[in-house]
Structure 1
Amino acid sequence: MQTVLGIDTGGTYTDAVLLEQKTKKVLKKAKSPTTRDNLAVGIGKSIRGLCLDPADTIEKVVLSTTLATNAIVEGEGRPTGLIIIGELPKGELPDAHRAQVKGKVNIKGKEVIPLDTAQVIEACAAIAPQVQAFAVSGMMSVRNASQELAVKDIIKKQCALPVVCGHELSSQLGFHDRTVTTVLNASLIPILEDFIRAVEVTLADQSIDAPVYMVKGDGNLASLSFIREKPIESILSGPAASIIGALSLAGCGDGVVVDMGGTTTDSGIVLDNTLTLAPIGARVGDWQTQIDSAQINTCGLGGDTQIIAVDGHPTLTGRRVLPACRGGRDGLTPTDLLHYTGDFEGWDRELVVGAVDAQTDKAPDAYVDEAAAQILETIRTEVLSLYEAHPVPIIAIGAPAKTWYEKIHEETGCTVIVPEHYEVANAVGAAMAAVEERVTALVRPDEENDGYVAHVAGQCRSFKDKAEAVDFVKQETEARAAAAAKAQGAPDISVQVFCDDIVEKIGWRERYIETRVKAVAKATTLKLKMQEEKDERRP
């Protein structure tokens, strides 16, 4: 039997499922506490919990994780060097050892100030001993990446550290957000590399010899070699996998998907099997990036969210703690309340009774009821507004979800689906994810040379004829999208190329602005909505 092994490493649990590849049936499932100091330990325990049969042929292993997201939010990225070509972007940037060198490319992709290579060599020598990776960013590099690539080449000749350029991560305008994305990506490279190596060792210990992939924040698959270079693509990987898993388990094409984990509740809307992307890219913590991701609403309510007494009343702090039922001493959690009421039996209820007594002088039952009401009110505030805007079923997944959302159904009458295997839906989604790659390009007028300029993948090429320029970028985007999808391991690929002329109306006339070309190579039924590029100088 051919199977897929799906693994989701969350903040509280690491889940594993064995999925039959042809029928998408969940054959086995297991959970194990996430071991933050060594994630591979938790992964190993969850895999062993499946009691795999040697007769099962594992075709691939797919991971989803919150590792990159948590590292950004908690400020745990590794020391990074940033070399900025030309003027500084407007706005705050993540911490980095920074240097500024001369050079400039204009909006038409023309080099107007040559790169000062001597400054690059000097900056690299000064910064390299203090960092674990380099980021390179220059304004308008998406129109002409030659200066960024020249800086990258110099750094690689000077040291053995990984280097990432802004144009390699995003083709969108928006110098500040692209620079933020580049710095964060560089800071994550050593972290994800350690994680990937640990996973590979764990799989080898389990005698699992199959290609390994990771779910990106937009719900699509990426090879580990891709993630090693672009780990920032894995931000919001877990929530994206949860949406895919929830839809499959519920058998729905429409729904408000709610994933209640140990730390947060993530929710997103899917209509007509269409996963909407965040309008301008994923926002993580204080940072806006240019990385495609599912549009996710997140609130600080999970099974391990701390509940303390404030002026005698139970209050959610948004902080994740070890539940009292598992020996925690930092207050109560929603998981503890379920132990107290008998809705869930996993650990020690007597420890919860003691924690309730320590937190209040009120009657324990009344205090627990008040705390439960706070949780339900938070759910109503954060989730039911989505349901009211789009009255489609609420699909509730995640280990704590069943009890709380059944209570929401009882109180409000709204349609709630808690599908079978709801507690491991993230791992199911990981196992079911597929490949989709997108490449975009532009053709714009070149007034200086009375022709047209094609911009694709950091290239800048001139043409006399518009049709010739458009044909060139259509062929380039199609080839690049197909190559990227094949590199991610997609066996059967279909490529579609979309072309859109942008014009400006001036009275009764129209003025040609540009042609936007997008190629989509995919082996998936999940459709993704894209957003228009934003202005390069937007802070």
Structure 2
Amino acid sequence: MSPPACVIGIDTGGTYTDAVVLDRSSGRVLAGVKTPTTPHDPAVAIGRSLEKVLLASGANPETIELVTVSTTLATNALVEDKGAEVGLFVIGHDKRLHIPAADMRFIPGGHKARGVEAEPLGMDYLIQGIAAMKGRVDAYAVCAMLAFEDPTHELVAAKAIELMDQMPVFCSHQASTRPGMEERAATAVLNARLLPVMQDFLRGIARSMERLGLSCPVRIVRGDCQSMDLPEAVRNSSATVASGPAATALFGGHAAAGETALIVDVGGTTTDITLIREGHPVVREEGMTIGSWRTHVRAVEMYTVGLGGDSLARVENGRLSLGPARVVPLSQIHLHLDGPALASMTRPEAWLGADLCAQCVQLAPGTDPGDDQILRWLAEHGPATPMRLRQELALAESNLEKAIARLQAARRVVTCGFTPTDALHVLGRLDLGDARPAMEGAGVLAALLSLAPEAFCDQVLEKAHATIATTILCALGNREVGPALAHFFEQPEQSALLDITIRVRPRIIGIGAAAPFLLPEVAARLGTEAVFPEHYEVGNALGAALMDTITKE
């Protein structure tokens, strides 16, 4: 008997990269694995996951017919306000656009209906703008008036940029064929912001597959629950922004078996919520809104909140806040540090205190500080809160945040802090790491609120439950009733006049290793139930693997 033909599904999240091997004929999962994501190079974790899942399943690389990859890294980059610095050229439109580009220049030009040129392209202004941006941006975006009817001015501008600078360029007509200047410009900036990352990501996947003897095609999950090949993924990086939620929806649609349900994926960085109606993902045809970005990216109807198992808990000015920053939980630092670095981190009271919440930066093992002033200071003095680094090095807060993000991405520092994962360890509900640093961290932070450590941990989890529940209510309220109901639930203080109680009818289908520890309480608040299907821990990877089967049905 010939070995079964298989497909590998991979999901690269902000915290873990999951992989499954699926027998195509029987639909049976032969193996599923979780590997820590490598933020500095996500393809490294994919390579490790491929190797582990092939070994665990016993599958021969020659039997793998397809590898399908979904990723939430693009979403996480936007939630955490990370990504390439983009210079935007807007052609033929001089009204203010609310788009978070690093630099924006308005250039004469553009077209009218039926491809009639409105005015000649302002080449002098364009060349001056490129010269001003060169060396200050990592990528460029170009959006011209009515370029979806005639992209000539965008193409000329892109060629001029390529001649003057070697950074990637993305034009709005490559991803949008609809009117709406701001949405098209935002889509172009989003593609430009993600393009360099996507290129490195896909090159890394190709290297890992070659090393493991995998010669099958690779597909990337799009946000609209379709898939695309690698060249299209490079050209249209923005389509991957909702890749993870799309895989969530594909798994949820399979698990829902024809019913209407809410699929809630609790990751380390974010919680993603998607809607399944009668077994099918609901796709937003008009384009998704990502934070403050209104785009033309077609994607599943999803709602993302910057809260997960590894979200940073802060205590500032007598108030507790949670997320959106992701850190290494104190209970997990032994997985990321060793030797003197680990020893200096095991007593959080030595570096946590009233000056700042529960965040600490530590030199990564084996890092040569070189000429970097932050790394040199950490090498000499040990772990420190960002506030202490600002004071010692006289750095502006925004400059320090960018510098730390850069060092994190390069794996030269490890940023640790107290998280919901730590709260679960302190309360004895989870045992995946070393609870001692978490307990000491809880003691330091609890003292700032005059609470016992256990009561503080209850508050952390209560805030996580409330945040996820409120996000679900706002999402469904806005969808079914309108923005007024969503605004009511978003109010930080309770109304003195109204007490509204709402029951959510659909069941919650949970995905992610942390889901059983948070979602039952969320479901109870909403008057529904939470269920956790088989393989929920690697649900997104399974959703990616199932895509080929689902799209053929």
TM-score over 0.5 for the alignment? yes
Is contact 1:250-1:419 (8 Å) kept?
Answer: no
Check if 1:275 corresponds to 2:281: yes
Aligned partner of residue 360 in structure 1, secondary structure: helix
CA 1:74–1:348: 2 relative to 1, 3 Å: closer
Instruction: Report the counterpart of residue 484 of structure 1 in structure 2.
Output: none
Is contact 1:89-1:176 (8 Å) kept?
Answer: no
Aligned partner of residue 193 in structure 1, secondary structure: helix
Is contact 1:250-1:417 (8 Å) kept?
Answer: no
Check if 1:378 corresponds to 2:467: yes
User: How far did 1:228 drift?
Assistant: 0.9
Q: Aligned partners of 2:311, 2:82: CA distance in 1, in Å?
A: 21
Which of these residues, 226, 233, 253, is aligned with residue 227 of structure 1? 233
Instruction: Report the counterpart of residue 5 of structure 1 in structure 2.
Output: 8
User: How far did 1:82 drift?
Assistant: 3.5
Higher share in strand: 1
Deviations 1:238-294 (A, max 9, x none): 112112112223434420111111112111221123433346422233322211122
Which of these residues, 438, 443, 446, is aligned with residue 360 of structure 1? 446
Which of these residues, 162, 173, 194, is aligned with residue 200 of structure 2? 194
User: How far did 1:334 drift?
Assistant: 1.8
TM-score (norm 2): 0.71
- Output aligned runs, 1:82-101, within 5 Å: 82-96=88-102, 98-101=104-107
Instruction: Report the counterpart of residue 119 of structure 2 in structure 1.
Output: 113
- Output aligned runs, 1:397-412, within 5 Å: 397-408=511-522
- Output aligned runs, 1:39-50, within 5 Å: 39-50=42-53
Instruction: Report the counterpart of residue 176 of structure 1 in structure 2.
Output: 182
Deviations 1:278-331 (A, max 9, x none): 464222333222111222122232111233456777653543222121137535
Is contact 2:88-2:101 (8 Å) kept?
Answer: no
User: How far did 1:349 drift?
Assistant: 2.5
Q: Aligned partners of 1:2, 1:17: CA distance in 2, in Å?
A: 14
Q: Aligned partners of 1:370, 1:126: CA distance in 2, in Å?
A: 49
Deviations 1:33-75 (A, max 9, x none): 1111222332233223221524361111111112323334444
Q: Which amino acid aligns with 1:392?
A: P
Q: Which amino acid aligns with 2:291?
A: G
Q: Aligned partners of 2:432, 2:72: CA distance in 1, in Å?
A: 24
User: How far did 1:105 drift?
Assistant: 1.4
Unmatched tracts of structure 2, length 5 or more = 334-344, 349-357, 359-416, 478-501
Instruction: Report the counterpart of residue 53 of structure 1 in structure 2.
Output: 58
Aligned partner of residue 62 in structure 1, secondary structure: strand
Aligned partner of residue 49 in structure 2, secondary structure: helix
Q: Which amino acid aligns with 2:181?
A: F
User: How far did 1:98 drift?
Assistant: 4.8
Check if 1:416 corresponds to 2:422: no
Aligned partner of residue 328 in structure 2, secondary structure: coil
Higher share in helix: 2
* Larger deviation, residues 148-157 vs 179-188: 148-157
Q: Aligned partners of 1:296, 1:207: CA distance in 2, in Å?
A: 36
Is contact 1:17-1:427 (8 Å) kept?
Answer: yes
CA 1:152–1:371: 2 relative to 1, 3 Å: closer
Aligned partner of residue 281 in structure 2, secondary structure: strand
Deviations 1:178-228 (A, max 9, x none): 112212312321121111111211222222221112111222111111111
Q: Aligned partners of 1:413, 1:71: CA distance in 2, in Å?
A: 33
Q: Which amino acid aligns with 1:419?
A: P
CA-based RMSD: 3.1
Instruction: Report the counterpart of residue 341 of structure 1 in structure 2.
Output: 427
Aligned partner of residue 432 in structure 2, secondary structure: coil
Q: Which amino acid aligns with 2:431?
A: E
* Larger deviation, residues 330-339 vs 74-83: 74-83
- Output aligned runs, 1:210-249, within 5 Å: 210-249=216-255
Unmatched tracts of structure 1, length 5 or more = 436-521, 526-539
Deviations 1:471-491 (A, max 9, x none): xxxxxxxxxxxxxxxxxxxxx
Is contact 1:68-1:192 (8 Å) kept?
Answer: no
Larger Rg: 1
Aligned-residue sequence identity (percent) comes to 34
Instruction: Report the counterpart of residue 20 of structure 2 in structure 1.
Output: 17
Aligned partner of residue 36 in structure 1, secondary structure: coil
TM-score (norm 1): 0.73
User: How far did 1:89 drift?
Assistant: 4.4
Instruction: Report the counterpart of residue 393 of structure 1 in structure 2.
Output: 507
Q: Which amino acid aligns with 2:60?
A: A
